[in-house]
Amino acid sequence: MNSCEFVTFITSIACVISQDKSADELNLLSAVFSQLGDTLDTIAATKACE
């Protein structure tokens, strides 16, 4: 999968997840996924230093 296909795939997932969600629910999901990404970055950086 090339980078443009991957971006389109992620966008499609976001559209499906967002269906029937309120603005508050979307804000919470956004925060959760942002924290998940940040935590995964931290774990990867820690492993790179081992």
Report residue 9's pLDDT band, with 50, 70 and 90 as the boundaries: very high
Q: Place 41 in a pLDDT band, splitting at 50, 70 and 90.
A: very high
The token pair at 21 is 């969600």
What value does the mean pLDDT take over residues 14-25?
A: 98
Copy the structure tokens of residue 50.
């081992």
Cα angle for residues 43, 49, 50 (degrees, 5° grid): 95
Q: What does the block give as tokens for 33?
A: 């996924």
Write down the pLDDT at residue 16. Answer: 98
**All structural domains of the chain with their residue ranges:** 22-50
Instruction: Quote the percentage of the chain above a pLDDT of 90.
Output: 98
DSSP one-letter code for 21: -
